Structure 1
């Protein structure tokens, strides 16, 4: 009986190890399902609710995308996320990075920087959610997100200097409320 038990345990262990011996998951791998929404949940292809264990990746200063350095996001960082079970990220894409100089003139270099990060994450089976990120509109107000060309201070507020406030207190000022109202009314 002990011999049969030992053989069955060895076979089970062998099958388990064989099932996990493949390389890392890839974006095209069916083991990395495309998620979709059902009601208030993200679900996989079988309708199972998915809990995303993720990290926030937002670069809030120009050039608004991570460099391929230790201060940014590297292959080693992506490997670390996968090794420790992270399966999702929130990538902060800022309008100020997309069109930094003029309306409708996109910066291809900005997208190339994010393409590198997307490839690193996708190659490891890590889901991504893109966030059109901004905090308190623009650097003028102690935040980031909107390019300078779209962040002119409105009259009559522009007659006085802006008094810096800590985040998120600037949101409740008449001036920041006005710039948001002007944006949505345009």
Structure 2
């Protein structure tokens, strides 16, 4: 768990991710570091029995690598869990996808995941590249751009907390 140095009231963030070889974890950690002014809890869905109550969070950041054209199994299961989907649809969601092909992620994988999250307020979605053996397409610029979109959304929420029509938990 990463706690920010200066907490912005009511804007708690849950960063959920799954990783096979550590790339997605490292990217999730970079995003959490970028969002230091906010309280961000970092959680590997593979390491917990149960996801914490989403009502404690204003924003859920979901990160997954793509294997065989699908999200990694733990995230795929989460996206098929009616209880999780019902709760996440009441939150704002930011989505990042780790894939060696950013083009395929933008064109196919992100839209598929967004459809599964139908009803959620998607505030940012980004293909950040990936790593496979010696090939590394992870884009620091894409990670920064994604994080900046989240930060801008959070700053807008801090100014007008009910702008999205959803009160804080």
Q: Give the TM-score taking structure 2 as reference length.
A: 0.32
Q: Give the TM-score taking structure 1 as reference length.
A: 0.30
Rg larger in 1 or in 2? 1
Structure with the larger RCO, 1 or 2 (CA within 8 Å, 6+ apart): 2
**Structure ranking higher in strand proportion:** 2
